Structure 1
């Protein structure tokens, strides 16, 4: 089942117009959230990021789009799925049909679809750089818009080269993120992640991991510019997103990483996801 503007319909009944602006112009935003024990994990953080994204894109936020309303809309679809399963829900919001580059309205439609999570953290995980195209280090790159062409091309590149993931670079050839999440590198007791000014997505799990690190007496957190050379010299590397939490990286070119700290942080993340 799909939730289309508050109405539950069968997937076979979904009828998206050829004028759909998310399709024609990438004129939309989305949030992917994890559902565990019939609860939307870190929902408040996702909600406020979504509202900030809509404001940035000059979309008209409907009065009914409260924290409680959108959570209820997600759970309406969740209830049509098997219970006691871990699910992923995608809430997509896009401007209503009409116009060319200039829309005829800033009002929005929404779709929510839910799938069972089949991905498991991998014990061996290999990454490399994607250098065919670059991610622009502007504020718009921090928003989860429906234009994900760079991520798609990098994912195809990874598949063609027997990689699990790729690292995206910005126009200054600094590390931005992975194709499906934020990236952290560890050298001794210093844990670094690209600053938002580098063009990375303002990830929810990124934020939670940073909060954990900042409270830990043994580690120092740095939001900064990271060169690809630093990955080669790192002790550990891991990727974060809302569904997997933390995916430790084991291999980058000829370098093999340990995964001890990443696994510890994953355990801490699981604890706060249960209690939040």
Structure 2
């Protein structure tokens, strides 16, 4: 079942109008959230990112949209699903129907969709650079809007070329992220991840991994500009998102990477997931 503005509705009974702004203009944002043992993982981080994104997009935040209210709505929707240890939730917020580019109102509707989380870390994971279009740097690129055409095209390119994922680059040819997550590059004892000014999503798992690395005095973390060439010279490369956690990259062009450090980070992140939920 789907949660539409607080009402649980069978999926086949959801009717969105032809004036839906998320459909017509991509005028919406979303959070992808992990549920483990019926508890919301990193919920406060997701909530405050959602509130910041709504303010940035000039959406009117309803008075009832408290941390506790939205968590209860998510768990209410999870409770009517089939039994599973882990779920993935998509919480979509979009402006109400009406208007052309200029909306009739800044009030919002919301929709909560829940599916079983079946992701398993892959032992072999191959990526390459997607060069057809750029992920333009800028503040708007750091939030999860409904406009995911670049990610869709990169994912199609990956499928057509027997890849697991693609690295997205910006107009300066700098690494931004992958089609569905953030990216980290390890060389020696220096770990780099693209700065938010490069246009990458302000990922929840990204921030947690940054916090984990910051506590390890053996390594130095840099949020900076990364060239695709640096990936090829790296010792290890891994990607992160809220659902997969940490996925090591094993193959990039002709280069093969080790996964020792990535595996340790993955274990540390799983510990945080359990303690946060």
Compute the TM-score of the two structures, normalised by the length of structure 1: 0.99
1:225 and 2:262 are equivalent in the alignment: no
Aligned to 1:89: 89
Q: CA deviation at 1:272?
A: 1.1
Aligned to 1:133, what secondary structure does the other structure show?
A: coil
Q: CA deviation at 1:273?
A: 1.1
**Count of residues in correspondence between the two structures:** 276
Paired with 1:241 and 1:84, the residues of 2 have a C-alpha distance of: 20
- Unmatched 5+ residue regions in structure 1? none
Higher mean displacement: 133-142 or 73-82: 73-82
Aligned to 1:19: 19
Paired with 2:272 and 2:203, the residues of 1 have a C-alpha distance of: 16
Alignment of 1:96-245 (within 5 A): 96-245=96-245
Paired with 1:273 and 1:14, the residues of 2 have a C-alpha distance of: 32
Higher mean displacement: 148-157 or 111-120: 111-120
Aligned to 2:271: 271
Q: CA deviation at 1:83?
A: 3.0
Q: What is the CA RMSD across the aligned residues, in angstroms?
A: 0.6
Paired with 2:44 and 2:93, the residues of 1 have a C-alpha distance of: 17
Aligned to 1:70: 70
Paired with 1:81 and 1:36, the residues of 2 have a C-alpha distance of: 14
8 Å CA contact 2:84, 2:116 repeated in 1: no
Per-residue displacement from partner, 1:162-217 (whole Å, max 9, x unpaired)?
00000000000000000000000000111100000000000000000000000111
Paired with 2:126 and 2:209, the residues of 1 have a C-alpha distance of: 22
Compute the TM-score of the two structures, normalised by the length of structure 2: 0.99
Q: CA deviation at 1:82?
A: 2.5
Q: CA deviation at 1:84?
A: 4.1
- Unmatched 5+ residue regions in structure 2? none
Q: CA deviation at 1:10?
A: 0.2
Per-residue displacement from partner, 1:25-75 (whole Å, max 9, x unpaired)?
000000000000110100000000000000000000000000000011111
